[in-house]
Amino acid sequence: MKNTLVALGAILLLASCTKEQQTNSSTAKLVFKFKFDSTQVRLNNVGQPAVIPDGNAGQSPRFNSMSSHYIELTPTGLTPLGKGAVVYKAPETTAGGANAIDFEKSTLAGNNETFYSAPISGIAPGSYEWLRVSLAYQNYDITYHVDTTNSHFSYKADWTGTIASFIGFNTYIKTLTVKTQSVDVNANKKQGFWAFEFHPELNLKLPVATGQAPEGATTVVNPIFATSPIPQGSCVVTAHMQPGKLVITGKETEDIVIEVSLSTNKSFEWKEVVKDGKWEPLKKEQVVDMGIRGMIATIK
């Protein structure tokens, strides 16, 4: 009888351990977190260091939040877009006509915050060398300059404003709140659409300004463009996994965190009217680029 009880206890213990392992494995997640870094190298579309062209100027925004539209893990640099493991795609809509990202249903995240997580058990086992993240929306603070000097009056000052910038392929926007002020859009907007809220000091109460960067001007960094190109007008930023490949076995019992560090190094760029290195929207200095200037994907 004693031996029978010992054997039964061992079976129950084994069953309990097995159940715990299964539970741990099924709840382990792949977690993606944003990091915004103004000191990270500034890159161009094909992943090479880039300087600001003559006649332009730029500044590094102070990020409040960002949203993503698409996340894909790819085995090699030869993997065509969409042929890797697509772990996330944000809601889309045709409310504005053509298919577009549904901004109203987008998930926003700030610095060091999780922008998406998924059970590892739902990801195909394999080795993944590259990460693709399609960025959709960014909200950040920038400094702008006001100069109203004339023969009767002189006022010069630097103020802080907030920009809501859309860098996804196409976004349907109902109402957009930039910081405290809102603007009704009710339409699809292509990559490069932006809205700017002036600082409310002096009770100026200036209305939200909106604009559109030139088509094809938004930087989208893809170091493997030659072997795996990204369609123009999208914002699928690409980066090699650090320090090496991401290996998914399907038997993980702990979360895997991937830090997605985005270069904001002078990512807000404009064409100067007054060559002073300061953005002066009241002098109609046109915004020409609001794209992220590089991505580093680090497995934690």
Token pair listed for 66 = 């960002």
Sort strands 156-166 and 130-147 into parallel, antiparallel or unpaired.
antiparallel
CA distance 189 to 182: 16
Token pair listed for 25 = 């494995």
Token pair listed for 168 = 């996804």
C-alpha distances in Å from residue 232, one per residue of 123, 129, 155, 237, 288: 28, 23, 42, 12, 16
Full pLDDT tens readout for the chain, 300 residues: 444 444 444 434 444 444 444 445 568 999 999 999 999 999 999 999 999 999 999 999 999 999 999 999 999 999 999 999 999 999 999 999 999 999 999 999 999 999 999 999 999 999 999 999 999 999 999 999 988 877 677 788 899 999 999 999 999 999 999 999 999 999 999 999 999 998 766 566 788 999 898 888 899 999 999 999 988 888 999 999 999 999 999 999 999 999 999 999 999 999 999 999 999 988 999 999 999 999 999 999
Indicate the pTM of the whole model.
0.88
pLDDT tens, 163-199?
999 999 999 999 999 999 999 999 999 999 999 998 7
Contact criterion met (CB below 8 Å) for 292 and 68: no
CA distance 121 to 251: 8
Contact criterion met (CB below 8 Å) for 188 and 98: yes
